[in-house]
């Protein structure tokens, strides 16, 4: 994990970050608060600006930010680092990319989901592609693909852009961000620093939740633009922090990420070749969890886990005819995982490799216009996947281990994915219908971190899962009305279910309350919709809903970890100087559950009651490029927990000393916040 040349100047990052960013206060064009939800910009695609303020105020990470999009939920673990869930699907079913890179966490208990390493405001654009309706960004995107990316606009002359934000709020919340971009028509540079911290928050009953955190990041990029159609960029990131967890017996005291990447982009190469792009990247995460630093010290000590990921991509955009665009390319990735442990004295054993993975693919996606109004989009993808189990032993209790029955074994699979979609645009309205299939190989947490149904290892028996899905929808606009509907239904063969408290045997001994990976067959269906009305130039009302329903066909039970029906209703006022908004979020009870079953992050704990949360905000633009906003989330101090939350203080390790144990990790109570954004161009 050594990128010494790139990161030599970042060595003092922990000391510099909080102060460097406090000098400026974020976006190139501050806008109003996003109150209800970002909408689909085109069929099955939601695009939004991560720099725009929104309510409720997101935490510092990518998961908490995504929950503002209908269909998303977050598996709550503490103040940060939750796992995003889209349409009830979590883990590697949701493909998350950062500037084209996969970031794979190191923690075998999912302390550090990929979104844990993302500070959203660092990026200029967030794109969600729903379902298996693209093949351009990797395999296994059965739920969808999320892309965080920077978009540095070309410089036409020597210039400097300085943007920043400062956020303060309840429970000691403070976020700072500074973004400097300099360049001319031939080259550019960017430097971004972020810092985010919070103390323990309190739920609506005033009970403290073990949830404090702090994260900082430094991002840099230098680029060459020898002409208006060519860009070569070298970029890097270094970030770290800590986070307390309310759902388990250990906390995360280190989340070091170092990343470096190189990109090439050439457009208008010839009448046939419209664009040629290529990229290479390497990122490493170094994660430590312990029960020593952020809570009353316990007896488990320390665990240090690392993950190194390297990959690349090349793609060409071709125009074989005026009505046809064809994208062809290849991508690949390799990653390895290692771990070591230490007692309470902090003396570590040697690192041991656990597993390694390799995947490469060929893909092709075509868009053909049948007429001015109608078009078809389709794609095919073939992935070759390889995995190796490098564990000699498997821990089955806190104090004991058994020989690994799959030690030294490897696996290979060929995975096929594809989709076909028809779109019809008539005026401002667009109808669409699509079918898609994607195959997803088991990930590290399903193969290595879980047991099997017949033994201590799930490596040999866990099969890839295949999703076949139908998508239907509408984008609508008529006068002052606008809206959209996105509906889906699928069948998932060999769905990888995680089940806890299940009897299993391994190497002659009974495992105590093992958590196993097993294949089942499942179905899900649901929809996300929004409808808005522009009352006049200043006033608008908007509503959004999301629902998913699923069945475990193999067990004859509801599919686990599916959130209930959610409705959001918002009212906004904006006269371009002053703005105000109110949001009502109502969630129904969830009575469909399957106890102790779920995904690699969490399992069902039982039913949850419905709840409603009301929030308000206001804003002022004293001049162009400056926006001051303030808000109160959970105005009436409601005590509630999401259905997909993890158990409060009752997870791995038992009750957390000094904190009240609750059935689930409760959400924050009444929270006040103030945010300032400035763009100096």
Residue 417 has pLDDT above 70, yes or no: yes
Q: Where on the phi/psi map is residue 658: left (φ > 0), alpha (ψ -120 to 50), or beta?
A: left
C-beta neighbour count of 488 within 10 angstroms = 24
Query: Do the Cβ atoms of 133 and 471 come closer than 8 Å?
Result: yes
Residue with tokens 């109570």: 669
Which of 39-48, 186-195, 462-471 comes out lowest in average pLDDT?
39-48
pLDDT for res 500: 87
Cα(21)–Cα(195) distance, integer angstroms: 7
Torsion on CA atoms 14, 18, 23, 29, rounded to nearest 10:
100
CA distance 109 to 576: 47
Write down the pLDDT at residue 15. 35
Give the pLDDT confidence score for residue 650 in this predicted structure: 52
Q: How many CB atoms lie within 10 A of CB 339?
A: 19
- The answer to whether the beta carbons of residues 585 and 563 sit under 8 Å apart is no
Average pLDDT over residues 52-75: 89
Do 382 and 336 form a contact (C-beta atoms < 8 A)? no
CA dihedral 554→556→561→566, nearest 10 degrees, is: 130
> In the prediction, which pLDDT does 60 show?
80
CB 133 within 8 A of CB 75: no
pLDDT at 165 over 90: yes
Rounded to whole angstroms, the Cα distance separating 615 from 636 reads 8
Strand partners, 86: 72, 89
Query: Can you tell me the mean pLDDT for 362-384?
Result: 97
Mean pLDDT of the chain: 91
pLDDT, tens digit (0-9, with 9 covering 90-100), for 466-477? 999 999 999 999
pLDDT for the residue numbered 37: 80
> pLDDT band for position 78 (50/70/90)?
very high
Q: Note the pLDDT of residue 411.
A: 97
Among 251-255, 502-506, 547-551, 667-671, name the one with the lowest average pLDDT: 502-506
Tokens 């990888």 identify what position? 496
Instruction: Give the list of residues 6+ apart from residue 19 with CB closer than 8 angstroms, or none.
Output: none
Can you tell me the distance from the alpha carbon of 150 to that of 125, in angstroms, rounded to the nearest whole number?
Answer: 6
pLDDT at 344 over 50: yes
Q: What is the pLDDT of residue 6?
A: 39
Q: Residues 167, 200: contact at Cβ < 8 Å?
A: no
Q: Does residue 528 come out as left (phi exceeding 0), alpha (psi in the -120 to 50 range) or beta? A: beta
Per residue, what are the HEC states of 518-579? Answer: EEEEEEEEEEEEEEEEECCCCEEEEEEEEEEEEEECCCCEECCCCCCCEEEEEEEEECCCEE
Confidence band, pLDDT 50/70/90 cuts, at residue 580 = very high
CA–CA gap between residue 432 and residue 425 (Å, rounded): 9
- Among all chains, which residue has been given the structure tokens 């067959």? 521
- Of 1.10.390.10, 2.40.170.20, 3.10.129.10, 3.40.50.300, the CATH number of 4-680 is 2.40.170.20
pLDDT at position 507 over 80 = no
**Which range is most confident: 5-19, 136-150, 277-291?**
277-291
Q: For the chain, what percentages of helix, strand and coil (3-state, to nearest 5) are there?
A: 5, 55, 40
Please tell me the pTM assigned to this model. Answer: 0.92
Whether 5 shows a pLDDT value over 60: the answer reads no
Using 50, 70 and 90 to split pLDDT, how confident is the model at 18?
very low
Report the range of poorest mean pLDDT among 48-57, 120-129, 210-219, 576-585. Answer: 48-57
Q: What confidence score (pLDDT) does residue 654 get?
A: 61
- Angle subtended at Cα 439 by Cα 436 and Cα 442, rounded to the nearest 5 degrees: 150
Taking residues 509-514, what's their average pLDDT? Answer: 51
What count of residues does the chain have? 681
CA distance linking residue 574 with residue 559, whole number of Å: 43
- What is the arithmetic mean of pLDDT over 191-220? 97
- At residue 28, the pLDDT reads 39
């Amino acid at each position: 994990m050594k990128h010494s040349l790139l990161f030599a100047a970042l060595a003092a990052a922990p000391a510099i970050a909080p102060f460097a960013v406090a000098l400026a206060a974020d976006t190139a064009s501050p806008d109003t608060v996003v109150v209800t939800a970002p909408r689909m910009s085109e069929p099955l695609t939601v695009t939004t600006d991560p720099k725009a303020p929104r309510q409720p105020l997101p935490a510092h990470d990518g998961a908490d930010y995504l929950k503002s999009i209908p269909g998303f939920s977050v598996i709550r673990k503490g103040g940060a680092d939750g796992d995003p869930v889209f349409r009830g699907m979590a883990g590697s079913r949701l493909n998350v990319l950062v500037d084209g890179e996969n970031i794979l966490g190191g923690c075998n208990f999912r302390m550090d989901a990929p979104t844990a390493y993302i500070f959203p405001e660092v990026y200029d654009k967030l794109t969600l592609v729903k379902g298996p309706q693209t093949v351009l960004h990797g395999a296994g995107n059965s739920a969808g693909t999320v892309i965080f990316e920077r978009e540095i606009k070309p410089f036409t002359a020597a210039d400097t852009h300085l943007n920043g934000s400062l956020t303060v709020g309840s429970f000691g919340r403070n976020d700072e961000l500074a973004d400097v971009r300099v360049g001319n028509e031939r080259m550019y540079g960017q430097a971004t620093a972020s810092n985010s911290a919070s103390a323990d928050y309190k739920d609506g009953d005033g009970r403290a939740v073990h949830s404090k955190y702090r994260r900082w990041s430094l991002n840099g990029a230098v680029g060459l633009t020898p002409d208006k159609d060519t860009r070569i960029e070298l970029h890097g990131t270094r970030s770290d922090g800590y986070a307390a967890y309310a759902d388990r017996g250990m906390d995360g005291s280190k989340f070091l990420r170092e990343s470096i990447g190189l990109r090439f982009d050439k457009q208008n190469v010839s009448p046939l070749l419209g664009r040629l792009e290529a990229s290479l990247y390497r990122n490493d995460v170094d994660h430590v969890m312990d029960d020593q630093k952020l809570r009353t010290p316990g007896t488990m000590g320390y665990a240090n886990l690392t993950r190194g990921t390297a990959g690349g991509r090349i793609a060409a955009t071709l125009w074989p005819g005026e009505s046809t665009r064809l994208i062809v390319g290849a991508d690949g990735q390799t990653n390895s995982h290692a771990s070591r442990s230490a007692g309470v004295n902090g003396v570590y054993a040697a690192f041991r490799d656990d597993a390694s993975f390799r995947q490469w693919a060929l893909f092709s996606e075509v868009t053909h216009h049948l007429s001015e109004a109608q078009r078809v989009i389709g794609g095919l993808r073939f992935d070759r996947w390889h995995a190796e189990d490098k564990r000699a032993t498997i821990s089955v209790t806190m104090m004991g281990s058994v020989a690994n029955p799959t030690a030294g074994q490897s696996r290979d699979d060929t995975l096929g994915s594809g989709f076909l979609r028809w779109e019809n645009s008539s005026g401002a309205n667009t109808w669409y219908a699509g079918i898609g299939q994607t195959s997803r190989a088991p990930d590290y947490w399903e193969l290595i971190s879980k047991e099997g149904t017949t033994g201590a290892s799930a490596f040999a028996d866990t099969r890839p899962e295949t999703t076949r899905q139908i998508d239907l929808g509408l984008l609508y606009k008529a006068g002052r009305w606008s809206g959209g509907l996105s509906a889906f239904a699928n069948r998932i063969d060999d769905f990888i279910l995680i089940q806890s408290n299940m009897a299993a045997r391994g190497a002659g001994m009974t495992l105590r309350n093992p958590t196993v990976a097993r294949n089942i067959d499942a179905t899900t269906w649901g929809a996300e919709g929004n409808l808005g009305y522009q009352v006049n130039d200043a006033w608008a009302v908007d509503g959004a809903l999301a629902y998913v329903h699923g069945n475990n066909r193999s067990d004859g039970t509801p599919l686990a970890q599916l959130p209930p029906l959610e409705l959001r209703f918002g009212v906004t006022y904006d006269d371009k100087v002053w703005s105000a908004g109110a949001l009502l979020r109502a969630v129904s009870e969830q009575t469909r559950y399957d106890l102790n079953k779920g995904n690699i992050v969490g399992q069902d704990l039982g039913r949850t009651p419905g709840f409603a949360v009301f929030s308000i905000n206001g804003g002022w633009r004293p001049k162009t490029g400056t926006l001051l906003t303030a808000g109160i989330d959970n105005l009436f101090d409601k005590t509630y927990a999401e259905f997909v939350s993890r158990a409060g203080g009752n997870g791995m390790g038992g009750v957390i000393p000094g904190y009240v144990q609750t059935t689930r990790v409760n959400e924050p109570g009444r929270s006040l916040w103030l945010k300032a954004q400035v763009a100096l161009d």
